[in-house]
Amino acid sequence: MMAPGGTEITGFPPRGTHPANLEATNPLVMWAYTNLADKRLIFTKKYLLLRQDPVVSEAQKVGLFNRDTWAAYLLNGEAFVKRASADPAKPYTDFGCSFETFTNNEFLEIETLGPITKVEPSRTVEQVEHWSLARNVSLIQQTDEAIDSLLSQLQAAERQH
């Protein structure tokens, strides 16, 4: 759960072109209360942004699948980044989501999901996430190019630590 007032960014799997890539590449999942006209949601060709707004109490949730599941949450010049790997050969809940995000007026949730797994008695299963933090980051525009630049900055910071 993330503090109020920030903006989350997550990525879609690599995009393609028509007619070269005619097959579906990933789900974009909605709940009964999902509202794609919600001003807190912003779609670009490569990214999905969700802004947490303490004034808007309406719940909002979307999910998707991405082999390289990740999300960044920007707030007050800082970024929290969460990464996980997903296996497209395995089944996932909620129509195949490896990532889900929810917000209301109190918080924003960044959730990675593991595959559906039968766990035998005395056995365990784990979902591995990699977290990182960065300071002095900002997103000037909500465009693919600006987000690409921000992500390059965040990846460089991750490699330094």
Band (pLDDT 50/70/90 cuts) for residue 161 is low
pLDDT tens track for 142-153: 999 999 999 998
Q: Give the pLDDT confidence score for residue 77 in this predicted structure.
A: 96
Give the whole-number percent of the chain exceeding pLDDT 90.
Answer: 89
Which residue, chain included where needed, has tokens 């591995």? Answer: 128
Read off the pTM.
0.93
With CA atoms as reference, report the closest residue to 63 among 128, 129, 16, 113. Answer: 113
Residues ≥6 apart with Cβ < 8 Å to 144: 44, 45, 46, 47
**91-128 tens-digit pLDDT:** 999 999 999 999 999 999 999 999 999 999 999 999 99
Output 80 or 25, whichever has higher pLDDT.
Answer: 80
